[in-house]
Amino acid sequence: LVIGLAICVISYDSFGYLVGKKFGRTPLSPHISPGKTLEGLVGGMVASIVIAVLLVSHIHPWGGIGHSFLLGLIVAVVAPLGDLCESMIKRDLRIKDFGSILPGHGGVLDRFDALLFVLPAGYFLARALKLG
C-alpha cells in the first residue's frame, strides 16, 4: 500500500513540476505558492492516475483497474492539498525551506508534504474497498 501510494505521489510531484515548467502559465495560488501553476497541477493529477492504473495495479493487489484508478484519483486530489498546506505554513512562518538536510529540495518536509496527506487517505480508501 505504502509503496503504491509513494509511486503515485512521486509521479504527481515529478510530472507536476515538469509540466508546470514547460507549459505553466496560470498561477495556481500565487499568494501561497508562487511557483505552482494550474497546468502543473493538471499534469501531476493526470500522471498520478495513469501511473496508478498502469503500474501500481500490477505491483499491489488493488483488485483491478477500477480500484487502482481510485487510488490515483485520491492522490490526484489529496497530494495538492498537502503541497499547498505545507506552503501556507512556510508563508505564515516566513521561511523558505523546512530544514537543509536535502539541499536543493527544500528540506525533508518539503519532500514529504503530499505523502503526509496521501497516506491516511489511501489507508481509508483501502479500508473502504476492503483491501488487505
- 74-126 tens-digit pLDDT: 999 999 999 999 989 988 998 877 766 656 555 677 778 999 999 999 999 99
Q: What's the pLDDT tens digit per position in 10-27?
A: 999 999 999 999 999 999
pLDDT at 1: 81
Residue 127, number of CB atoms within 10 A of its CB: 10
Res. 63: pLDDT tops 60: yes
* pLDDT for residue 99: 66
The number of residues making up the chain comes to 132
How confident is residue 58, by pLDDT bands cut at 50, 70 and 90?
Answer: confident
Digit-coded pLDDT (tens) for 102-114:
565 556 777 789 9
Q: Which domain holds residue 6?
A: 2-128
Number of compact structural domains in the chain: 1
CB-CB neighbours of 69 under 10 Å: 16
Q: Residue 111: its pLDDT value, please?
A: 75
Report pLDDT for 20: 98
Residues 6+ apart with CB under 8 A from 88: 32
pLDDT at 95: 85
Alpha-carbon gap, residue 82 to 13, rounded angstroms? 11
